[in-house]
Structure 1
Amino acid sequence: MPPLLLEEFRITFDEYLERRLRSITLKQALGDLVGYTPRSGGKRLRPYIIYLFSNILEIPEEVYLELGLAVELFHSGSLIQDDLPSLDNDNFRRGKPSLHRLCGDGPAMLVADYLMLYPGKIILTLPLSAEIKLNLLRLWHDTSLKVIEGEFLDINTRVKSVEEVERIHYLKTAAFFGFCFSSPFICAGKQTEAVEMEKAGIDFGMAFQIFDDIKDKYGKSEILGKTPGKDEIQNRPNILRYMEMERAKKTAEKFYSKALERIKQDEIKQILDRLRKLVQER
């Protein structure tokens, strides 16, 4: 079956997201806050990646949508953390007030914790074998810990080299893409392929973050949905501090080429090409 375009998938996923957010039984105040950032829009690129590979592997919809939900909730929680005054101190996200602007720093931090912990419950209840769920959980916990470590280094490191920037990019961003690339193959019981796909996802994520750095420096707030130029203002790691934009683009292409070299199947290479175009256009 030909895959949906991102815009088509986003409609399906957002409807599913809304149903699942309503099914999470919480007292109203907490429930409203938990749903605020996930409901605020976004490209849904990470769930879309899971869907694209699941489509080839014939993973059931009930599995890939739940996995997509897990990564989107975690991603939303990490964005709430990013925006806190003690971290990136951004008052807007996806064109709307950041959560801490609505409820204060403490409640926002707890909502972020909830969103970043809930995916473990999602994975445990997937209709898959115990062995597959254990493999998913191993990768999930390893990935989520890397994201937290990357966030810590992002705000606590005086970066002095490209290598240090890339280390933070790997932990904070690329490892998460590794999970998105790998998890459908784990669900299909293809553990060997899953290992290579995780590496390909990490390479893709490194390229993604370079383009994100470029957009942070040169993008407009109405397109980004957040304040541009924050990396430079707050002295945060950004690849453009250490190389010109053209060299940065070439570096991104090298990471993309590495990802492509890891992939043998033409169908999967076509997916990677589709994702590359989406990242360059976003």
Structure 2
Amino acid sequence: MNLNIKDFEDQINTRRNYVNECLEQNLPPLNSYPPIIHEAMHYAVFNGGKRLRPIMVFEGALIAGIEKEKVIPTACALELIHSYSLVHDDLPSMDNDDFRRGKPTCHKVYGEANAILTGDALLTYAFQLIANNIAINGIQPLNVVRVIKEISSAAGSEGMIGGQVIDLDSEGKNINYDTLKTLHSLKTGELFRASLRAGAILGGLDNEKLDYLTTYANYFGLAFQITDDLLDVTGDQKTLGKPVGSDDKNNKTTYVSLFGIDKAKMLAEESVNTSIDNLKEFGKEADFLRNLAYFTLDRTK
């Protein structure tokens, strides 16, 4: 497929702007009491993120045949969970990063204790938002419960948090491909998978088609992580909004350190092709997901 990068970036930007509008409407107001925690929550969320997870919630709903407006609470919740994880990842006791997307990290602005509480607040509020989906006409309450189970599992000790634990334990060690793949499947892939599945489940998509979307998300997440590793070596610091070479500095095993740049690029391409193969059961409604997978290979940030 010949992907027009500029046109597709415009599509992503349109979706990102819509997500930002939804987040503005669904976060507690800035002047809520106590103000410092709500200011920090807004700071953590509105920091130039890609918004891929809420976008995938919307795309899952579209494929299932329901309007994106019906899944706004859950879409926002996935971005809050992602944002909380970044706030905690940046802490001195974790990755100890001073900048995130070109801006000082949450703990550098609000202090370490408030950053911890900010992450806690974002995670807690996310599940309040998901529960709000029950009140939306056309959404089955049992599907909301199913989504809560999916997302809590994806974000928990057998998902994203588990991946972070493996990541911390692996610093300074030479780990093999299987461990690296498991690490990123849990730390990054689980939330992508839960995002796409959540929109589709809320829309009532049947289990067979849901399985195809799940496999797409699995390989998309793998390609996304490999590209991240490549950008840490080949990317531009100004474009990325964070220092390059941090993986090497922190003695982390990556797809690049394990296989080299050329083999890592090949693995990313293979993952993209496999992800797209799993969309054969869908028509034009899945075109954005197809293009998103191709775009992953060409992204610069």
TM-score (norm 2): 0.87
How far off is 1:268 after superposition?
5.2
Q: Does 2:225 match 1:209? A: yes
The verdict on how the C-alpha distance between 1:225 and 1:61 changes in structure 2, with shifts beyond 3 A counting, is same
CA contact (8 A) 1:81 1:87 kept: yes
Partner of 1:246: 262
Paired residue type of 1:154? D
Give me the whole-angstrom Cα distance separating, in 1, the residues matched to 2:117 and 2:206: 35
Structure 1 counterpart of 2:96, from 86, 89, 92: 89
Partner of 1:144: 155
Aligned pairs for 1:218-237 within 5 A: 218-237=234-253
Paired residue type of 1:96? K
How far off is 1:63 after superposition?
2.7
How far off is 1:266 after superposition?
3.1
CA contact (8 A) 2:101 2:241 kept: yes
Q: Does 2:88 match 1:70? A: no
What value does the CA root-mean-square deviation take over the aligned residues? 2.0
Give me the whole-angstrom Cα distance separating, in 1, the residues matched to 2:77 and 2:60: 16
Partner of 2:3: none
CA contact (8 A) 1:90 1:226 kept: no
Partner of 2:17: 11
Partner of 1:34: 41
Instruction: Report how many aligned residue pairs link the two structures.
Output: 280
CA contact (8 A) 2:56 2:199 kept: no
CA contact (8 A) 2:275 2:293 kept: no
**Structure 2: unaligned runs, 5 residues or longer:** 1-7
Aligned pairs for 1:1-282 within 5 A: 5-23=11-29, 25-126=32-133, 127=136, 128-145=139-156, 146-157=159-170, 158-192=173-207, 193-263=209-279, 264-267=281-284, 269-279=286-296, 280-282=298-300
**Structure 1: unaligned runs, 5 residues or longer:** none
How far off is 1:229 after superposition?
1.2
| Partner deviation per Cα, 1:200-259 (whole Å, 9 max, x = no partner) | 211110111000111112222211111221111011231111111111111112222222
How far off is 1:113 after superposition?
1.7
How far off is 1:136 after superposition?
0.6
**SS state at 2:59 partner:** helix
CA contact (8 A) 1:18 1:39 kept: no
CA contact (8 A) 1:90 1:227 kept: no
How far off is 1:260 after superposition?
2.4
TM-score (norm 1): 0.92
